[in-house]
Protein backbone atom coordinates (compact mmCIF):
# COMPACT_ATOMS: atom_id res chain seq x y z
CA UNK A 1 0.00 0.00 0.00
CA UNK A 2 1.19 3.52 -0.80
CA UNK A 3 1.73 5.31 2.52
CA UNK A 4 2.87 8.83 1.68
CA UNK A 5 5.14 10.98 -0.43
CA UNK A 6 8.68 9.92 0.42
CA UNK A 7 10.55 12.61 -1.50
CA UNK A 8 10.59 14.86 -4.53
CA UNK A 9 13.68 14.44 -6.72
CA UNK A 10 15.10 17.57 -8.35
CA UNK A 11 17.78 17.28 -11.03
CA UNK A 12 20.54 19.89 -10.64
CA UNK A 13 23.90 20.58 -12.24
CA UNK A 14 25.55 21.16 -8.85
CA UNK A 15 24.37 20.05 -5.43
CA UNK A 16 26.82 22.44 -3.82
CA UNK A 17 25.30 25.44 -5.59
CA UNK A 18 21.68 24.30 -5.29
CA UNK A 19 21.93 23.35 -1.60
CA UNK A 20 22.23 27.04 -0.70
CA UNK A 21 18.54 27.58 -1.46
CA UNK A 22 17.27 24.63 0.56
CA UNK A 23 19.72 24.82 3.48
CA UNK A 24 20.60 28.49 3.88
CA UNK A 25 17.59 30.33 2.50
CA UNK A 26 14.70 27.96 3.28
CA UNK A 27 16.36 26.56 6.42
CA UNK A 28 15.74 22.89 5.64
CA UNK A 29 17.77 20.37 7.60
CA UNK A 30 20.32 18.42 5.53
CA UNK A 31 19.82 14.66 5.83
CA UNK A 32 22.90 13.29 4.10
CA UNK A 33 24.70 13.05 0.79
CA UNK A 34 25.79 9.92 -1.03
CA UNK A 35 26.76 8.62 -4.45
CA UNK A 36 24.61 5.93 -6.06
CA UNK A 37 27.04 4.46 -8.59
CA UNK A 38 24.49 2.19 -10.29
CA UNK A 39 22.35 5.20 -11.14
CA UNK A 40 25.21 7.57 -11.95
CA UNK A 41 24.18 10.22 -9.43
CA UNK A 42 25.21 12.02 -6.31
CA UNK A 43 22.22 12.79 -4.08
CA UNK A 44 21.63 15.15 -1.18
CA UNK A 45 18.50 15.07 0.96
CA UNK A 46 16.79 17.85 2.90
CA UNK A 47 14.06 17.14 5.43
CA UNK A 48 10.69 18.84 5.06
CA UNK A 49 8.09 17.44 7.44
CA UNK A 50 7.81 13.69 6.97
CA UNK A 51 9.05 13.92 3.38
CA UNK A 52 12.32 15.04 1.82
CA UNK A 53 13.64 16.96 -1.11
CA UNK A 54 16.33 15.03 -2.99
CA UNK A 55 18.83 16.90 -5.17
CA UNK A 56 20.27 14.73 -7.95
CA UNK A 57 23.61 15.66 -9.55
CA UNK A 58 24.91 13.44 -12.33
CA UNK A 59 28.29 11.79 -11.86
CA UNK A 60 27.94 9.79 -15.08
CA UNK A 61 27.64 12.02 -18.16
CA UNK A 62 25.74 9.21 -19.92
CA UNK A 63 23.40 8.44 -17.01
CA UNK A 64 19.66 9.10 -16.87
CA UNK A 65 19.92 12.27 -14.76
CA UNK A 66 22.58 13.72 -17.07
CA UNK A 67 20.32 12.99 -20.05
CA UNK A 68 17.36 14.55 -18.24
CA UNK A 69 19.35 17.74 -17.54
CA UNK A 70 20.53 17.92 -21.14
CA UNK A 71 16.99 17.61 -22.45
CA UNK A 72 15.01 19.54 -19.81
CA UNK A 73 17.41 21.59 -17.71
CA UNK A 74 17.19 21.72 -13.93
CA UNK A 75 13.87 20.90 -12.33
CA UNK A 76 11.63 18.26 -10.87
CA UNK A 77 12.82 14.83 -11.97
CA UNK A 78 10.54 12.45 -10.06
CA UNK A 79 8.02 11.97 -7.29
CA UNK A 80 8.73 9.13 -4.87
CA UNK A 81 5.91 7.28 -3.14
CA UNK A 82 6.64 5.29 0.00
CA UNK A 83 5.05 1.86 0.24
CA UNK A 84 5.13 -0.86 2.85
CA UNK A 85 5.76 -3.73 0.40
CA UNK A 86 7.51 -2.79 -2.84
CA UNK A 87 7.11 -6.23 -4.41
CA UNK A 88 3.37 -6.18 -3.80
CA UNK A 89 3.09 -2.62 -5.13
CA UNK A 90 5.13 -3.51 -8.23
CA UNK A 91 2.74 -6.42 -8.89
CA UNK A 92 -0.23 -4.11 -8.34
CA UNK A 93 0.85 -1.43 -10.83
CA UNK A 94 2.01 -3.98 -13.40
CA UNK A 95 -1.34 -5.76 -13.20
CA UNK A 96 -2.95 -2.44 -14.13
CA UNK A 97 -0.77 -1.93 -17.22
CA UNK A 98 2.01 0.23 -15.78
CA UNK A 99 5.47 -0.73 -17.02
CA UNK A 100 8.39 -0.72 -14.62
CA UNK A 101 11.88 0.41 -15.58
CA UNK A 102 13.64 -2.51 -13.85
CA UNK A 103 12.97 -6.22 -13.48
CA UNK A 104 13.47 -6.04 -9.71
CA UNK A 105 13.64 -3.36 -7.03
CA UNK A 106 16.99 -1.54 -7.05
CA UNK A 107 19.18 -0.31 -4.20
CA UNK A 108 18.49 3.38 -3.62
CA UNK A 109 19.77 6.11 -1.33
CA UNK A 110 19.39 5.79 2.44
CA UNK A 111 19.35 2.00 2.08
CA UNK A 112 15.90 1.96 0.48
CA UNK A 113 14.56 -0.33 -2.19
CA UNK A 114 13.33 1.63 -5.21
CA UNK A 115 11.50 0.99 -8.44
CA UNK A 116 10.54 3.48 -11.16
CA UNK A 117 7.38 3.39 -13.25
CA UNK A 118 7.56 4.24 -16.95
CA UNK A 119 6.58 7.92 -17.38
CA UNK A 120 4.72 7.15 -20.61
CA UNK A 121 2.29 5.12 -18.49
CA UNK A 122 1.91 7.66 -15.66
CA UNK A 123 0.99 10.90 -17.43
CA UNK A 124 4.61 11.84 -18.21
CA UNK A 125 5.46 11.88 -14.50
CA UNK A 126 8.36 9.70 -13.39
CA UNK A 127 7.00 7.96 -10.30
CA UNK A 128 9.25 6.03 -7.95
CA UNK A 129 8.17 3.44 -5.43
CA UNK A 130 10.30 3.31 -2.29
CA UNK A 131 10.40 0.95 0.63
CA UNK A 132 12.49 1.46 3.71
CA UNK A 133 14.47 -1.56 4.75
CA UNK A 134 14.40 -2.66 8.37
CA UNK A 135 16.62 -0.34 10.38
CA UNK A 136 16.93 2.24 7.55
- CATH code assigned at 21: 3.10.180.10
Residue at 135 is within a domain: no
Cα gap 77→49, rounded to integer Å = 20
Domain span including residue 84:
2-125
pLDDT band at 134 (very low <50, low <70, confident <90, very high): confident
C-beta atoms surrounding 132 within 10 Å: 16
Q: Tens digit of pLDDT for each residue in 109-123? A: 999 999 999 999 999
- Write the CB contacts of 43 (distance below 8 Å, at least 6 apart in sequence): 15, 33, 34, 35, 36, 54, 55, 56, 57, 109
Confidence band, pLDDT 50/70/90 cuts, at residue 135: low
What string of DSSP letters covers 85-107? -HHHHHHHHHHTT--BSSSS-EE
38-95 residue pLDDT tens: 999 999 999 999 999 999 999 999 999 999 999 999 999 999 999 999 999 999 999 9
Handedness of CA 22, 27, 30, 31 (dihedral sign): negative
Into how many domains does the chain fold?
1
Q: Is residue 130 part of a domain?
A: no
- Give me the pLDDT at residue 68, please: 97
Amino acid sequence: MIEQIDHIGIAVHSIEESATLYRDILGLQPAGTEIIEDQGVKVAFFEIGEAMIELLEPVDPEGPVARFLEKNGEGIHHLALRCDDIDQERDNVESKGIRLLSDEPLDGAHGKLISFMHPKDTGKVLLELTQRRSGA
